[in-house]
Amino acid sequence: RVVRLKGGDPLIFGRGGEEALHLARHGFEAELVPGITAALGCAASSAIPLTQRGLARSVTLLTGHLQGGEQFGGWGALVAAGHTLVCYMGLEQAARIEAGLRGAGADAALPVALIVAGCSEREWVVRCRLDGLSRAALALEGETPVLIILGQVVALRDELKGLLGALASRVA
């Protein structure tokens, strides 16, 4: 028996599908155990509602990791949709993400959160605007894992964090 333990949802940017297909194609049985993907877990633990009436009707999960010279050309569609973006593995590609979104017309003041070590005891959040994403990412160089959330919903974090903290202290 071999166990490949991976945090989160192994089928969301976790190579779980690739690995399961490889095993199945070579006659091995495998079991996939579902988990909560980082986008949902990190957003909840850092008090960022990925969808909020009037601000975001949808969420798009994307990867910042590009393979061998691959270029992403869908920035315009992401900006036009006006929803929340959650970028996995985007720290090293932050300058490209910033340039791509800005080049497609995204507002320089778009709120951004970089969540370091989400859902763990050492979780912390760096807030910036889209036009400061590459600088914020440089300051976090060497930190892992980092999830990037971009959208108007990020602006609600401070208010929600304060309210949720006040509620938690009343319960305790």
Q: CA 109, CA 106: separation in Å to the nearest integer? A: 9
Domains and their CATH numbers in the chain: 1-35 (no CATH), 38-161 (3.30.950.10)
For residue 114, the tally of other CB atoms under 10 A from its CB is 25
Q: How many CA atoms lie within 13 A of 162 on its CB side?
A: 4
Q: Specify the DSSP class assigned to residue 164.
A: H
Residue 167 class from Cβ within 10 Å (0-12 exposed, 13-18 middle, 19+ buried)? exposed
What are φ and ψ of residue 23, in 5° steps? -65, -45
DSSP 20-89: HHHHHHTT----PPP---HHHHHHHHTT--S-BTTTBS-EEEEE----TT-----HHHHHHHT-EEEEET
Residue 29 class from Cβ within 10 Å (0-12 exposed, 13-18 middle, 19+ buried)? exposed
- Predicted pLDDT at 61: 95
10-residue averages of pLDDT along the chain (172 residues): 81 87 92 89 94 93 77 84 91 93 96 95 95 97 94 93 65 46
Residue with tokens 């990037």: 148
The pLDDT tens digits of the residues spanning 48-93 come to 999 999 999 999 999 887 666 667 778 888 888 879 999 999 999 9
- Predicted pLDDT at 165: 67
Q: CA 116, CA 90: separation in Å to the nearest integer? A: 12
Q: CA 60, CA 49: separation in Å to the nearest integer? A: 13
